[in-house]
Amino acid sequence: MPQDRASAEELLAGVEGFLRKDVLPQLSGASIYKCRVAANMLSIVQRELAQGGAADKAELEGLQNLLARESDKDDIQASLDDLNAEFCVKIRSGELDQQREAVIAHTRRTLIDKVGIANPRYAGLPK
Amino acid sequence: MNDDQVANQMLDDAQVAALLAEEASQHFPGAKVENVEKMSGGASRETWSFDVLQPEGNRLGLILRRDPGNTGSTGEEGWRGGKTTYSLDRTTEAQLQRAVYEAGGLVAKVHFAIPKDHALGDCYVMDRIEGEVLAPRILRDDAYADARKTMAYQCGEILAGLHAVDAAALPSGLVQMQVQELLAYYRELMDGVSDFYRDETAVARPEYHPAFELTFRWLQQNMPKDAPAGLVHGDFRNGNFVVGPEGIRAVLDWEIAHVGDGMEDLGWLCVRAWRFGQHQNPVGGFGQRVDLFAGYENAGGRKVDPKVIHYWEVLGTLKWGIICMFQAYKPISGLVDSFEHLAIGRRACENEIDLLKLIEESS
């Protein structure tokens, strides 16, 4: 059932703006830091809503190529769990040692998307 | 939770201050206790500052370090009730600080320790060393410009000294944590947090960290040859130094000290997280590796192999990434009530990006 406006994104942006513009200037001491953290958390969720779907799809495609199979799970989160579990076990056991370059390339792509949501200003992101 | 901890939990600040004043006046007969004050700082430990005015007129500035006992620990030892921990209790930490002090190390002198069964709980009192502790100030304020020039070399000297402390002088509570034990410890912590998310949270999914897996594999395949075992501080980095304009005055926070490979301390000091944005200075945000290594070797430390330090920097970055996961686990599992820890979980992936770069550089 589609919800009426404001959308989830709009609600979050509204609260974030309130925290940054109205609440923050009135605070002092440790609350300033906490209020910034709270506003940053709302930014993370907004980026996740905007970019998470595409990131999940790209990750799934990468895993399918590396592991040469598709998951039989019916939703994308369950499929990602299924394939990531196998991916991690195979890295650990050394079964993917021969595909090291492809493994690292996929992992790096996935992490760039992940950090792009969690903290796009991270200076360690490859340019 | 035992009765001591329950008693401990119920102390408010005024009670702690009163008990502390009573203990201190017993230890320094005839002295007056003044300026008892709770300092801000670490969440897992309480630090109290106070003065002792002795009958002959001299004044001692002192610090009490104690476990607050109200949140459970916020260190890794809080995980699953401390099943696999290598962090020290306050009594052992005080013994260790004494041993390092007697060996000439740069550490605050311990005056007395209070045993677990005391109403104050496990805690100890040491000299208050004046200076700056906050890493961003040490890295940016003009007052420390000269200190920054010499700190990398000085860190090398300090580490050479503490790695050489006679093993016979160390408290028996120190755990052996060589590289294999450390890897097993952090593997267990990572898997434990992930299993908890899968089995005991509404989201019911584990976490997957392929870059951590790749790093564990790399660490197994590139392990340094057996190293001589000695005292390792375990958390030797900016933030645990008391600094004055002339340099480091004291090294704080000995709670994850252990017996292992001293190169761990040099590598940890080079981990990206401790640079606080000053990446042109890979050693703690203030210096260069060559100076750290020169200080270490010139003060009698064994020859430093940069490859071994790189190995420990990789392990340290992995360790920090897993600690980020664990920070989010604390409020999610109810171990602490602190919403801001939740956000730190989302920083684990920054370490994963760094790790890919670090393990690529060397293969």
User: Domain-by-domain residue ranges, chain A?
Assistant: 8-118
Specify the pLDDT at position B85. Answer: 65
Cβ distance of B208 and A85 shorter than 8 Å: yes
Overall average pLDDT of the B76-80 stretch? 50
Specify the pLDDT at position B46. Answer: 83
pLDDT band at B72 (very low <50, low <70, confident <90, very high): very low
Of B108, B127, B146, at which residue does a domain stop? B127
Give how far B283 is from chain A: nearest CA, Å. 17
pLDDT band at B79 (very low <50, low <70, confident <90, very high): low
Does residue B1 register a pLDDT over 70? no
Overall average pLDDT of the B22-30 stretch? 90
Neighboring chain A residues of B354 at a CB cutoff of 8 Å: 124
Overall average pLDDT of the B42-63 stretch? 86
Specify the pLDDT at position B324. Answer: 95
Residue of B217, B220, B280, B358 to mutate, interface with A, max A Cβ within 10 Å: B217
Clarify whether residues B353 and B225 are in a common domain: yes
CA B188 to chain centre: 20
Give how far A1 is from chain B: nearest CA, Å. 22
Cβ distance of A111 and B356 shorter than 8 Å: yes
Do the beta carbons of residue B108 and residue B128 sit within 8 Å? yes
Cβ distance of A104 and B272 shorter than 8 Å: no
Phi, psi of B279 (to 5 degrees): -75, -15
Clarify whether residues B122 and B185 are in a common domain: no
pLDDT band at B4 (very low <50, low <70, confident <90, very high): very low
Chain B residues with CB within 8 Å of chain A CB = 40, 205-206, 208-211, 213-214, 216-217, 272, 277, 279, 339-340, 342-343, 346-347, 349-350, 352-354, 356-357, 360
Does residue B169 register a pLDDT over 80? yes
Do the beta carbons of residue B171 and residue B308 sit within 8 Å? no
Q: Which tops the pLDDT comparison, B360 or B287? A: B287
Does residue B82 register a pLDDT over 80? no
pLDDT band at B9 (very low <50, low <70, confident <90, very high): low
Overall average pLDDT of the A13-23 stretch? 98
Q: Which tops the pLDDT comparison, B235 or B74? A: B235
CATH code (residue B13): 3.30.200
Clarify whether residues B244 and B273 are in a common domain: yes
| Cα-based angle B88, B222, B299 (whole degrees, multiple of 5) | 60
User: pLDDT above 90 covers what percent of chain B?
Assistant: 75
Give how far B31 is from chain A: nearest CA, Å. 35
Cβ distance of B346 and A44 shorter than 8 Å: yes
In the structure encoding, which two tokens stand for residue A47, read together?
A: 């980026």
- Going by the DSSP 8-state scheme, the letter that residue A24 receives in this structure is G
Closest-CA residue of chain A to B354: A124
CA B88 to chain centre: 11
Cβ distance of B350 and A85 shorter than 8 Å: no
Of B93, B127, B161, at which residue does a domain stop? B127
Specify the pLDDT at position B227. Answer: 87
Overall average pLDDT of the B293-302 stretch? 97
Nearest CB to B343 within list A41, A91, A97: A41
Neighboring chain B residues of A95 at a CB cutoff of 8 Å: none
* Mean pLDDT of the residues in chain B: 90
Does residue B8 register a pLDDT over 80? no
Overall average pLDDT of the A72-92 stretch? 96
Instruction: State how far the Cα of B261 lies from the Cα of A64, in Å rounded to an integer.
Output: 41
Does residue B250 register a pLDDT over 60? yes
User: pLDDT above 70 covers what percent of chain B?
Assistant: 91
Chain A residues with CB within 8 Å of chain B CB = 30, 33-34, 37-38, 40-41, 44, 77, 81, 84-85, 87-88, 91-92, 94, 97, 103-104, 106-108, 110-112, 114-115, 118-119, 122-126
Cβ distance of A112 and B216 shorter than 8 Å: no
Does residue B337 register a pLDDT over 80? yes
CB pairs under 8 A between A and B: 79
pLDDT band at B73 (very low <50, low <70, confident <90, very high): very low
Give how far A7 is from chain B: nearest CA, Å. 23
The model's pLDDT over B94-124, given as tens digits with 9 standing for 90+, comes to 999 999 999 999 999 999 999 888 888 889 9
Bridge-based pairing of strands B110-114 and B123-127 is antiparallel
Cβ distance of A112 and B356 shorter than 8 Å: no
Overall average pLDDT of the B277-303 stretch? 97
Bridge-based pairing of strands B46-53 and B32-39 is antiparallel
Do the beta carbons of residue B96 and residue B89 sit within 8 Å? no
The model's pLDDT over B149-168, given as tens digits with 9 standing for 90+, comes to 999 999 999 999 999 999 99
The model's pLDDT over B321-332, given as tens digits with 9 standing for 90+, comes to 999 999 999 999
Neighboring chain A residues of B208 at a CB cutoff of 8 Å: 81, 84-85, 87-88
Does residue B217 register a pLDDT over 60? yes
Clarify whether residues B207 and B347 are in a common domain: yes
Overall average pLDDT of the B176-200 stretch? 94
Give how far B218 is from chain A: nearest CA, Å. 10
pLDDT band at B40 (very low <50, low <70, confident <90, very high): low
Clarify whether residues B86 and B170 are in a common domain: no
pLDDT band at B363 (very low <50, low <70, confident <90, very high): low
Clarify whether residues B301 and B345 are in a common domain: yes
Burial of A35 (0-12, 13-18, 19+ CB in 10 A): middle
- Amino acid symbol at B178: Q
Number of domains in chain B: 2
Instruction: State how far the Cα of B8 lies from the Cα of B43, in Å rounded to an integer.
Output: 16
Instruction: State how far the Cα of B188 lies from the Cα of B357, in Å rounded to an integer.
Output: 24
Overall average pLDDT of the A4-22 stretch? 97
Does residue B77 register a pLDDT over 60? no
Query: Checking phi first, is residue B12 left (phi over 0); if not, alpha (psi -120 to 50) or beta?
Result: beta
Overall average pLDDT of the B222-231 stretch? 92
Do the beta carbons of residue A103 and residue A91 sit within 8 Å? yes
Clarify whether residues B142 and B90 are in a common domain: no
Instruction: Tell me the three-class secondary structure of chain B, residue by residue.
Output: CCHHHHHHHCCCHHHHHHHHHHHHHHHCCCCEEEEEEEECCCCCCEEEEEEEECCCCCEEEEEEEECCCCCCCCCHHHHHHHCCCCCCCHHHHHHHHHHHHHCCCCCCCEEEEECCCCCCCCEEEEECCCCECCHHHHHHCHHHHHHHHHHHHHHHHHHHHHHCCCHHHCCCCCCECCHHHHHHHHHHHHHHHHHHHHHHCCCCCCCCCHHHHHHHHHHHHCCCCCCCCEEECCCCCCCCEEEECCEEEEECCCCCCEEECCHHHHHHHCCHHHHCCCCCCCECCCECHHHHHHHHHHCCCCCCCHHHHHHHHHHHHHHHHHHHHHHHHHHHHCCCCCCHHHHHHCCHHHHHHHHHHHHHHCC
Specify the pLDDT at position B325. Answer: 95
pLDDT band at B86 (very low <50, low <70, confident <90, very high): confident
Q: B295 lies in which domain range?
A: 135-361
Of B72, B102, B127, at which residue does a domain stop? B127
